[in-house]
Amino acid sequence: MEKISRRTFNVKITKAIVGTALLSNLPLSYAFNSGKKQKLGIALVGLGGYAGGQLAPALQNSEHCYLAGIVTGTPSKEEEWMKKYNIPKENIYNYDNFDSIANNEDIDIVYVVLPNSMHAEFCIRAAKAGKHVITEKPMAVSVAECDAIIKSCKENNVKLGVGFRMQTDPYTQEIKRFGKEKPFGDVKYVSSDAGFIAGSWMTPWRLEKKMAGGGALMDMGVYAIQCCIYGAGANPVSISAQEFSTKPEYFKNVDETITSQMKFSNDVVGNMFTSYNANGNRLFVSYERGWAELNPAHSYGPLAGRTSKGEEIKFPYKPQYQQTIQMDAFAKHILTDSPNYAPGEMGKRDLMIIEAIYKSIEQGGKTIPLDLGNMGIVEV
């Protein structure tokens, strides 16, 4: 057995994790401490398509967390999920008795997968119950709500993460590496598209501003914003935007298509496109001496990419949920204080950008200044 010095051991457990290294085992000091949990229990709040189709299956193969409970407003789903995932009756909650989850030692993390307008309420209730919190994107429907969530988590000494699965994806990490190590020189321009063609299959609440907070921008636009930021390697300092609608009779209450132009703190410029009536799934980054592209850039996988050198950006693909890596990374953050790849500040930053985009549209495309500092940029 390899002999590890205290110094080497400390370096190993504090070194930032990248790409597939997120799946490595917990540090020995933790594994041999029988006084602590080695896997954390997650309760999913809201059992819609994403929870049932992605999160729950992803938790079946996670190393550092597991599906411990559910919270649902639909009684018929209780029995179905209990049988399918062997969840004990005492770990089943509804929206009315949710606060009693504070007394359940099986549940360490609450993952809020509800309509956007409900995120703040249940994140705050989870924090007050002493549970760590993951909230789906967008973090909330306003910057003020983001502030309230962050404040509550800090006051109750719990960790907070946002469900940005792309932040832990190896393809995303590779684009970040290009920006930091500069194999093609400095970044000069970024462009990202994120959208789909809405149909009858889409959950109705996404077309209601009261529930969703907005349309394509609040949904798919978050991906495009994130892509531009990690492609540029910096936060935007100003932004302008325009809104278009080809089906105003259908998108009565929410935005259909939005384009936006950004200038970043490192003088990179960028374009963002998001839509509920056009498909988009791409990130393009132009450097001094070449370019890199991910296409698809943010779907459930596998992703794909290439560079101007004629090389394919490729990682060994095995059937694996991106959400497994995402939730394992957050569990490790709680267990070992490893990096939080999508902290609440990142979610707040994106809402600040979204609010600036809507403000620009209201003012006829006027350029809106942004003061974001380094908020939400995670070094990995």
pLDDT of the residue at 315: 84
Q: What residue type is assigned to position 35 of the chain?
A: G
Same domain, 208 and 251: yes
pLDDT at 107 over 60: yes
pLDDT of the residue at 378: 63
In a domain, 335, yes or no: no
Of 97-106, 142-151, 299-308, 312-321, the poorest mean pLDDT is in: 312-321
Q: Do 196 and 220 contact (CB within 8 A), yes or no?
A: yes
Tokens of 137: 């994107």
Same domain, 157 and 187: no
Distance CA 110, CA 324 (A): 15
Task: Give pLDDT tens digits for 235-279.
Answer: 999 999 999 999 999 999 999 999 999 999 999 999 999 999 999
Before 302, cis peptide (omega within 30)? yes
Same domain, 223 and 118: no
What CATH number is given to the structural domain containing 49? 3.40.50.720
Distance CA 180, CA 374 (A): 15
Task: Give pLDDT tens digits for 63-91.
Answer: 999 999 999 999 999 999 999 999 999 99
DSSP sequence for 153-214: HHHTT--EEE--GGGG-HHHHHHHHHHHH-TT-SEEEEEEEEEEE--TTS-GGGG-HHHHSS
Work out how many domains the chain is built from and give that number. Answer: 2
In a domain, 378, yes or no: no
Same domain, 239 and 281: yes
pLDDT of the residue at 377: 65
What would you report as the CA-atom Rg of the chain, rounded to the nearest whole angstrom?
21
pLDDT of the residue at 317: 67
Q: What average pLDDT does this structure show over 124-135?
A: 98
What CATH number is given to the structural domain containing 299? 3.30.360.10
pLDDT at 153 over 90: yes
pLDDT at 26 over 70: no
Distance CA 264, CA 115 (A): 31
In a domain, 78, yes or no: yes
Residue whose C-alpha is closest to residue 140's, from 117, 162, 165, 161: 117
Q: Is the Cα dihedral 293, 296, 301, 302 positive or negative?
A: negative
Q: Do 192 and 284 contact (CB within 8 A), yes or no?
A: yes
Coil, strand or helix at 238: strand
Q: Which domain holds residue 277?
A: 169-315+344-369
Kindly report the CA angle at 80 between 78 and 84, in degrees rounded to 5?
120
Q: Do 101 and 110 contact (CB within 8 A), yes or no?
A: yes
pLDDT at 21 over 80: no
Same domain, 149 and 257: no
Q: Is the Cα dihedral 179, 184, 186, 190 positive or negative?
A: negative
